[in-house]
Amino acid sequence: MISLRYHIVSIAAVFLALAVGVLVGSTSLSGRLLAGVGDEQRSLQAQVDDLNAERTTLKTQVAAADTFGSAVGPMAVQGQLAQRSVVLITSDNTDDQQRDAVGQLLRAAGAEVTGEVRLGKSFADPGRADQLRRVVTELLPAGVQLPTAADPGTMAGGLIGPLALLNPQSGQPQTGDQERAAAFAGLADGGFATASPGLRPAQLAVVLTGGRIESDRAGDKAATLARFAAQLDRAGQGAVLAGGAGSADGTGPVGVVRADPALASSLSTVDNLDSASGRVAVVLALREQAERQAGHYGVASSAQGPVPETRG
């Protein structure tokens, strides 16, 4: 006869067998899972290593191309701006090395650089917009009329344009030396702009700015710079607005111009000022402006090409 003890021992043996089976199965499964995860990790690491190597190669190629562009740039622009005069205008976030490099290329192209106007941090500050409008109105020289637009960028261009640029029809200064000095002194007092000593009016203007504007009101700042450059374009024989990486974004000055057909039809832009090819594009775009043509150059999708065509 089968006793109760036999039943208990039998049931215990069954559960023990199940436990052993589960343990053995899970151990085998865990091993296979861990092996699979290890293989996947090694595969991903190999992909990361390949991408890092590719990135290093591309950076080396870009650096070499930029070095080459810097070397041949003066030859590429030689004579393109012969008998032309240019004034440099820089925003507060313009890189000094890029500004100097553009100045050297302009001179290599045969242009006479008549001076520089540096815009202060307050210039594009939305919180100072009303003050900028008031200062512009107070400093306006006799005989100079402001544009009808009331935005701060256009109004500032309506003042600085006649101060820094020759009359496009007559080729003569639009203000007297004393009026020019007094107006720039007033702009400097407000922290809006300063002129280099001995600045003289030029035929053409290059407006240089940095890349992406990092600010809660980046769009407002970009719009001020964009409309300022557009008004400079109207005040003289032409102008080019050039910025670094990110300047062609929707909240960048170059992007604002390109998104507005009224501005883009007359003002030229360059979106890769931080490269040798971009600085060459600035000079060649300025030559187009002297010929009453406009274009948009660089590497952003909104550019029509890397550089304008060169001419002998």
Q: Is the pLDDT of residue 69 over 50?
A: no
pLDDT number for residue 57? 45
What pLDDT is attached to residue 5? Answer: 60
User: For residue 299, what are the CA distances in angstroms to 92, 161, 249?
Assistant: 23, 29, 12
Residue spans of the domains in the chain: they are 1-76, 78-297
Number of residues that make up the chain: 312
Q: Which two tokens stand for residue 217?
A: 């009101």
Q: Which of 32-46, 190-204, 248-262 has the lowest mean pLDDT?
A: 32-46
Measured CA to CA, the distance from residue 94 to residue 211 in angstroms comes to 8
Q: What is the DSSP letter of 201?
A: -
Average pLDDT, the chain: 86
Distance between CA 141 and CA 29 in Å, rounded? Answer: 86
109 falls in which pLDDT band (50, 70, 90)? very high
Q: If you average pLDDT over residues 273-298, what whole number do you get?
A: 96
Q: Tell whether the model's pLDDT for residue 170 goes beyond 50.
A: yes
Give residue 68's pLDDT band: very low, low, confident or very high (50, 70, 90): very low
Q: How far apart are CA 151 and CA 118, in angstroms?
A: 20
Of 29-33, 70-74, 112-116, where does the model show the most confidence? 112-116
- Per residue in 51-67, pLDDT (tens digit) is 565 555 444 444 444 45
pLDDT per residue over 207-252, tens digit each? 999 988 877 788 899 999 999 999 999 999 999 999 999 999 988 9
- Integer Cα distance of 166 and 223 in angstroms: 25
Residue 43 has pLDDT above 80, yes or no: no
The confidence score (pLDDT) of residue 212 equals: 84
